[in-house]
Amino acid sequence: MANYQHILVGIDLSDESQQVFERAQGLAKNHQAKLSLVHIIEPLTFAYGGDIPIDLSEIQEQLHQQARKHLADFCQLAGITDDQAHIVVGQPVAEIHRLANNLSTDLVVVGSHGRHGLALLLGSTANGVLHGAHCDVLAVRVKDN
């Protein structure tokens, strides 16, 4: 079996993200693979189920700014460069598939969890990523901290 060359890690920036990242980082080290991170922000219109008669663009921008800061902090602690970290707005499964294709990754690592934490982003997403991915997918069982 050939070594992985490029690993994409889906993280939600919660405390549990560290567990997912550490598993992916170990694989990247063992395979001498490039490692990229993605954090996906769901558009508020998706998250709240449709048209809302309020302008949510300012709130969406605040979420994006918070995510950029948290991802930068995460990357600094993890030793990941900015060009390896991506923030995407959209539906998590579709965006992970799109980015994995665009980056030509050969492994996607996501968290699999219960009813909170990573489940907000990756609970059913892990299953969706698995069934539509063009490459291998590793679902890391996340333990409550």
At position 86, the amino acid (one-letter code) is H
pLDDT the model gives residue 30: 94
Model pTM?
Answer: 0.83
57-78 helix and 17-31 helix, angle to the nearest 10 degrees: 50
Residues of the chain with pLDDT under 70: 1, 45-55, 113-123, 144-145
Write down the pLDDT at residue 29: 94
pLDDT at residue 112, rounded to an integer:
80
The structure tokens 């995510």 sit at 67
- Please tell me the predicted confidence (pLDDT) of residue 101: 96
25-51: per-residue pLDDT in tens?
999 999 999 999 999 998 876 545 556
Identify the pLDDT of residue 57. Answer: 77
Cα-trace Rg, the chain: 15
Please, are residues 9 and 36 in contact by the beta-carbon 8 Å criterion?
yes
Domains of the chain listed by start with CATH number: 6-141 (3.40.50.620)
Q: Where are the beta strands (DSSP E) in 1-145?
A: 6-10, 34-41, 85-89, 107-112, 136-141
User: What local confidence, expressed as pLDDT, does residue 97 receive?
Assistant: 96
